[in-house]
Chains A and B, each alone.
Chain A
């Protein structure tokens, strides 16, 4: 039968793909999508633990993660569209005005 470990393996794979995408890409939009992948992996782990412990706290925290993701995407994409208006590029290597 499908056990807790199976779900956690999928979660780990999803998280590592997100990390790889975040480290290797230069387009800021793909970085956003990779962060979404990582958040989804964390959510999957939370729901898994909630289910197998019979404890709703994990589901509630997954809700909070979703809300934070929505807020992050709204503000982040607004900033991104502004950056594109000013510099006509969303390449993170060229957005280096603050020498980060």
Chain B
């Protein structure tokens, strides 16, 4: 019975922080609100009995992506214009387009007969994920590791200073 209030808490945390990320006037607030979204998503993954994905979410997103984004915020904005560095434009067109997309997605959600096979119980996903990664998804796994290596090398090459 505690599941429903907890779900509501995580939904509020995730969606509320996402609203701050997208619509806050200060870009520093946006960056720190991203923390709430990532932790809320990790909470949902725990609800969905994907414990391993939840831990990875915290490690990669909070430990890696968020720190990188905060560093970039500090590097590209002066402190004095932190509150005005985040203007918006095209509000009406953006709102209309987003609303149309929202209606489209809700239409799909309500119009589809979702197949639910699993019953409601917690079962750890670590073993199935490991088996899938090392059997049917072995080639994509290797390819994506090389892609990640190439991207990281590319980032280093981009920002290094030329040495003669």
A interface with B by C-beta (< 8 Å):
1-10, 12-21, 23-27, 29-30, 32-34, 36-37, 40, 43-44, 47-48, 50-54, 56-57, 59-60, 62-64, 66-75, 77-82, 84, 90-91, 93
Q: Offer 26 A-B interface pairs, CB within 8 angstroms, sorted by A.
A: A5-B114, A10-B14, A10-B15, A12-B106, A23-B90, A23-B93, A23-B94, A24-B89, A27-B27, A32-B69, A36-B61, A47-B53, A50-B50, A51-B49, A52-B114, A52-B117, A59-B128, A60-B137, A63-B53, A66-B56, A67-B144, A68-B144, A73-B69, A78-B158, A81-B72, A81-B75
Taking a contact as CB atoms under 8 Å apart, the answer to whether B68 and A74 are in contact is: yes
The dominant DSSP class at the A interface is helix
| Contact bitstring B124-164, A, C-beta under 8 A = 1, else 0 | 01001101110001001000110110011011101100000
Interfacial chain B residues near A26, Cβ < 8 Å: 86-89
